[in-house]
Amino acid sequence: MKYMLLLFGAADAGPAPGTPEFQEMLREYGQATDAMQKAGVLLDSNPLQPAATATTVRVRNGDRQLTDGPYAEIKEMLGGYYLIECENLDVAVKWAAEIPAVKYGSVEVRPIMQMGGGPA
């Protein structure tokens, strides 16, 4: 089963860039990513640009509407993701707990919905 691990946190959560604590956090992300790769569960992973760089798209009455920034004012923003494939939710939760985002925000574990009989 494939799972999306969505990393959420406040913009100011966690250590400040350039600090030794920030470098330690980056090392921890590297360790978590390497462990997932070695276990053969990691399919993809990337951080996202800040929410302020987002563009929200809506279509209303056939007209495309674009809004700069995220859809709504939120306290926690989506900061990145891991896409993994593993046996079950228990294993996915185990991997989610290894991601440093759990210390400063949260990691949402969501199964990927299989559509049309193809591989999920």
Q: Where are the domains of the chain?
A: 2-47+73-111
- Closest CA relative to residue 88, chosen from 119, 111, 105: 111
pLDDT of residue 45: 96
Per-residue pLDDT at 104 exceeds 70:
yes
CATH no. for 2-47+73-111? 3.30.70.1060
End-to-end CA distance of the chain: 7
pLDDT of residue 71: 59
Pairing of β 77-85 and β 2-9: antiparallel
Rounded to two decimals, what is the model's pTM? 0.83
Phi, psi for residue 18 in degrees, rounded to 5: 90, -10
Question: For all residues of the chain together, what is the average pLDDT?
Answer: 89
CA–centroid distance for 92 within its chain: 13
Q: What is the pLDDT of residues 28-87, one digit of tens each?
A: 999 999 999 999 999 999 998 887 888 888 899 999 988 887 655 667 788 899 999 999
